[in-house]
Amino acid sequence: MSTPSTVAGNGFSDNAIHPVEYRRVYVWELPVRVYHWINAVALVVLCVTGYLIGAPLRAFYAAEAYQQYWFGWVRFLHFLAAFVYVFNFAARLYWGFVGNKYSHWNAFFPLKKSQQQEIVDVIKADVLETRMHGPISTGHNALAGLIYFGTFLVFVFQTITGFALYSSMSNSWLPRMFTWIVPLMGGEFAVRFWHHLFLWFFVTFVIVHVYLAFYHDYIEGRGTVSSIIGGWKFDREKSGKAGNRK
């Protein structure tokens, strides 16, 4: 109780006598956290404006076109958020090579046996709600890492199709580099369809992701949610089991 980094089971007298010790670990460095929240905001903006581009609201307050420009603004916001999102994502990819081990690119691939074991364990914990028995990574658990990797692939896909669509309305070099995508995918119509369809991937991802962040915060009990805000997580110090392995 006297050590600052020690957490005592509240109310349980036994725990108070034999405290479980936790160590503070700085998991998500500032660039990762900044990336995360910029990305979250940009994606919400992209999803909302993208949806509106596909299915515009009936918002008439004017009779003549020159009196309003709301659809133009919606599209402008979409493109603005798109650029923020793409460069932010590029920065994160860079950080995957220079950041700490938790944000390193190899945390996203379950190449090690222990990571594969962890995937099974996490699926059991999430779906069957069993207790986690194996070690849990301090950073992303192996399943989360793999899913983020899949998500990154969708980021790339959405960027490619987005810029391909944008290339028909811009002369700047970046979108111009994507003109060849359009015939490759069978015309702008097809590109638009796929670009629109993947909107729903993001919607689904965000629902599950936010829920699981809360859920793991609860079952792991070591500050998962606050880690993406403040950067710190907690590892059990001397546990033989459910502690840190990385």
Partner 1 sequence: MGQSIWNSMEQKGYSRRDFLQFCAAAATAAGFGQTGVAQVVSAFEKKEKPAVVWMHFQECTCCSESFIRASHPIVLDALLDVLSLNYSETLMAASGFQAEKSLNDTIANNKGKYIVLVEGAVPTKDDGVYCMIGGKTAESILQTVAKDAAAVIAWGSCASNGCVQAAKPNPTGATPIYKLIDKPVINVPGCPPIADVMMAVVTHLLVLGQVPALDSQGRPKEFYGRRVHDTCYRRPNYDAGLFVEAFDDENARKGYCLYKMGCKGPVTYNACSVVKWNEGTSYPIQSGHGCIGCSEAGFWDNGPFYQHLPSFPGFGIESTADTVGTVVGIATVAGVAAHAVVTNIRKRKVIAEVHAEDQKES
Return residues touching partner 1 (CB under 8 A).
9, 12, 14-15, 18-21, 51, 54-60, 62-63, 65-72, 74, 129, 131, 168-169, 179-180, 183, 186-190, 192-193, 196-197, 199-200, 203-204, 207-208, 211, 215, 218-219, 221, 238-242
Q: Choose the stretch contacting ligand HEM; rule: CB under 6 A; options: 35-43, 111-119, 121-129, 179-187.
A: 35-43
7 phi and psi angles, rounded to 5 deg: -110, 130
| Choice between 14 and 172, CB closer to partner 1 | 14
Q: Choose among partner 1, ligand HEM, none what residue 50 binds, the Cβ cut-off being 5 to 8 Å by kind.
A: ligand HEM
Q: Report in angstroms how near the CB of residue 176 gets to ligand HEM at its nearest.
A: 12
DSSP letter for each residue of 133-166: -S---SSS-HHHHHHHHHHHHHHHHHHHHHHHHH
Q: Report in angstroms how near the CB of residue 203 gets to partner 1 at its nearest.
A: 5
Residue 26, CA distances (Å) to 43, 72, 145 in order: 26, 44, 18
Q: Which of 90, 210, 211, 241: binder of ligand HEM (CB under 6 A)? A: 210
233: closest CA among 13, 14, 32?
A: 32
State yes or no: residue 22 binds ligand HEM (CB under 6 A).
no
Q: Choose among ligand HEM, partner 1, none what residue 166 binds, the Cβ cut-off being 5 to 8 Å by kind.
A: ligand HEM
State yes or no: residue 207 binds ligand HEM (CB under 6 A).
no
Q: Length of the chain, please?
A: 246
DSSP letter for each residue of 98-126: HS-TTTSGGGGS--SHHHHHHHHHHHIII
State yes or no: residue 202 binds ligand HEM (CB under 6 A).
yes
Residue 173, CA distances (Å) to 103, 163, 170, 176, 207 in order: 31, 11, 9, 5, 35
State yes or no: residue 138 binds ligand HEM (CB under 6 A).
no
Q: Which of 22, 25, 38, 43: binder of ligand HEM (CB under 6 A)? A: 43
Q: Which of 5, 6, 44, 73: binder of ligand HEM (CB under 6 A)? A: 44
One-letter amino acid at 180 equals W
The span from the CA of 48 to the CA of 74, in Å, is 9
H helix runs in 61-110, sequence order: 70-98
Q: Which of 8, 15, 23, 51: binder of ligand HEM (CB under 6 A)? A: 51
Q: Which of 136, 158, 182, 235: binder of ligand HEM (CB under 6 A)? A: 158
Q: Choose among partner 1, ligand HEM, none what residue 79 binds, the Cβ cut-off being 5 to 8 Å by kind.
A: ligand HEM
The span from the CA of 81 to the CA of 202, in Å, is 15
Q: Return the DSSP state at 7.
A: E
One-letter amino acid at 162 equals G
